[in-house]
Chain A
């Protein structure tokens, strides 16, 4: 009987720098990847696919920013511009941001963090990757065949009746991909409920698990509403139904209600997992337990619940009743409470910690600042009167990019760096990684801060011909985008480089707590040699550092 892995003692079996047999070298054939049911391999399949879509969506954004350098339309035609920002939005939202952290880091980490051998439904997990790819193919077809010009929001009746672009193929693609998201969320919820290791009670779970759980609830309850909405739009185009078409007695506002009933919570599908990643990184790099564990955990649930009650703030100027508007405005303000709870708790966690500024921590600190900024401007646009002024302007664009890029993508990159040694068994080059984290932070702010001002001054979104006085700010924004592009290019390069030339990682290079660090890097296919038994809370860094000082292994 070998020693059980216990977090209680924090003693680790000596695993060597790279164990001989792991999930990566257990098979090299294409078949062993495409038919795998191993959650870790599926996570890597997702990683490659969403990186592809990220580059594609980024290319569309590049063309948009290039075109906006001048007030005239000199790079592309107006129709092409409409298709470009639609492609950017559709790809980034449905094929990058929504699956990003859940499908990559969540898939990889949820079973490891709860001490299980795999997710509850491994074949379903593989199926959801195939569903995702099928949806992606439909969308790629739509893009290559000629594009879509409705914007990622598909507002009816333009999308259902008038647009002569490839709306159907894109809608089918998103409809299909939605099921991938539903099945992933379902798999996580069942796994977290039923597969936790002995002793791993709810309040001993890592905060990443809490936020993935909250995200999964939104995925399971929100995504089907988008599915039925897109189905009705599709049937309207094919069968001539009139649910949303005012000419046939339908109501386009109903489309907006149904669409935002999913698509507002979808914003929290993007940001909640990032918050989970940040809650893992900050304790590790300030060597102490997070301040207010239960508050951080429950605020994830509060955000998930509130997220379903605020969709009407997208309809303030769409002809929604003013009283409904007031209620939705109030409810939208409520979301600020759990969000602020998180920000204050993370900040308080730093207090008297011994902080080190490694790459994941740089991303985490960047996240806290940028998310606060995006969240506070969210309060501006949740106010009825201010929203009338800034609605459909670049202020909105800047606001949601601070959340989705400054928040979600920063968290994603921070998480990828933090768990890269665990996923690949290799360390990334720290110098290059810090440089690119700083470049991304600077580039991001230079890109999107001017857009707040542009929007406040009245530049509408989705237009590429604008008054000449807006050019300076637009050029600043495009310049920032080029820095941001360079910042994203670095990780793409050095992470691939590190696969071949990076230093071998030990089982726990960051001296972090958490079950995933107590198995070799990369982990064996079955995750743990023995089912771990958990005897203690998740973030006892004080004891871990104490044991390290006494000469224990990490």
Chain B
């Protein structure tokens, strides 16, 4: 009995699965399905954006020019790089390179933190310029149809805010992974959690790849 219990603790295989291949496939399918729900979740926001954009494209373009293209571009580069290091971390975990796994996870987290920090800096700039129509803050808009401009910034804050929230959740999960990796876990057959976290991280990255042109680029420049 005690041998069996020990074997169960040492084995990466959960009791409900027959073999590791089945477990890995189930984990992957589970995460892909979760990403489908995420897609529908963000889909509601993209729908709202599309509808209000088609109502007044000129104002949306004018409001879009108030965003800082430089920081948006920098953030895009930061996030895409973090996806690369995440993919490298997954590879390191699967090939049992503990040191590399720790380094790549750490770099991914650093880049993620950099993204969120730059995002919050942009929020602060919007606040200073009176472009944050939340909590009854004054909204200063010199151009035409301030109502539509306000709608653009409403959507900007909700869409990037929900995205940033997903980043923070991802960073939290990675922190747990990092702690486990330093204890020598998550290698080889145990690398499933790193792999599905990677999937999640790439998805969050991909959402930004759509947010960036919609908010910063289209029609504006």
Contacts and interface: CB of A to CB of B under 8 A. Distances in A.
Given A241-B134, A243-B48, A194 B22 contact: yes
Contact of A122 (B16, B41, B150): B16
B34 interface: yes
Interface stretch (A22-30, A217-225, A397-405): A217-225
B73 interface: no
Given A120-B30, A239-B134, A220 B151 contact: no
Nearest to B38: A224
B29 A194 contact: yes
Interface string B3-30: 0000000000011111000100110011
Interface in B22-53: 22, 25-26, 29-30, 33-34, 36-38, 40-45, 47-48, 51-52
B37 A220 contact: yes
Interface centre among A187, A195, A224, A231 (most CB of B within 10 A): A224
Give the interface SS of chain B, mostly helix, strand, loop or mixed. helix
Contacts of B148: 249
A232 B26 contact: no
A439 to B, nearest CB: 41
Interface string A513-547: 00000000000000000010000000000000000
A43 B34 CA distance: 22
B143 interface: no
Contacts of B29: 189-190, 193-194
Contacts of A531: 18
Contacts of A189: 29, 33
Contacts of A251: 51-52
B53 to A, nearest CB: 13
A195 B26 CA distance: 8
B26 A258 contact: no
B154 to A, nearest CB: 5
Contacts of B48: 232, 243, 254, 258
A324 to B, nearest CB: 13
Contacts of A221: 36-37, 40
B122 to A, nearest CB: 17
Contacts, number: 106
Interface stretch (A111-119, A296-304, A493-501): A111-119
A243 B44 contact: no
B201 to A, nearest CB: 19
Give the interface SS of chain A, mostly helix, strand, loop or mixed. helix
Range, interface on chain A: 35 or more
A252 to B, nearest CB: 13
A225 B40 contact: yes
A195 B21 CA distance: 12
A148 interface: no
A250 B33 CA distance: 32
A258 B33 contact: no
Given A116-B16, A249-B150, A224 B37 contact: yes
A191 B48 CA distance: 34
B135 interface: yes
A18 B181 CA distance: 47
Interface in A192-214: 193-195
B36 A220 contact: yes
B40 A242 contact: no
Interface in A220-237: 220-225, 227-229, 231-232, 235
A217 to B, nearest CB: 9
Interface in B127-155: 133-136, 147-148, 150-151, 154-155
Interface in B147-202: 147-148, 150-151, 154-155, 157-158, 162
A121 B193 CA distance: 13
Contact of B44 (A119, A122, A229): A229
Contacts of A186: 30, 33-34, 37
A20 to B, nearest CB: 19
Contacts of A229: 44
Contact of B25 (A122, A194, A225, A232): A194
Interface of A: 116-122, 124, 182, 186-187, 189-191, 193-195, 220-225, 227-229, 231-232, 235, 239-243, 248-251, 254, 258, 531
7 contacts: A121-B26, A190-B30, A220-B33, A240-B134, A241-B158, A250-B151, A251-B51
Given A190-B30, A194-B22, A229-B44, 16 more contacts: A116-B16, A124-B30, A186-B30, A186-B33, A186-B37, A190-B29, A194-B26, A195-B16, A221-B37, A223-B37, A225-B43, A227-B41, A228-B41, A231-B162, A239-B135, A241-B157
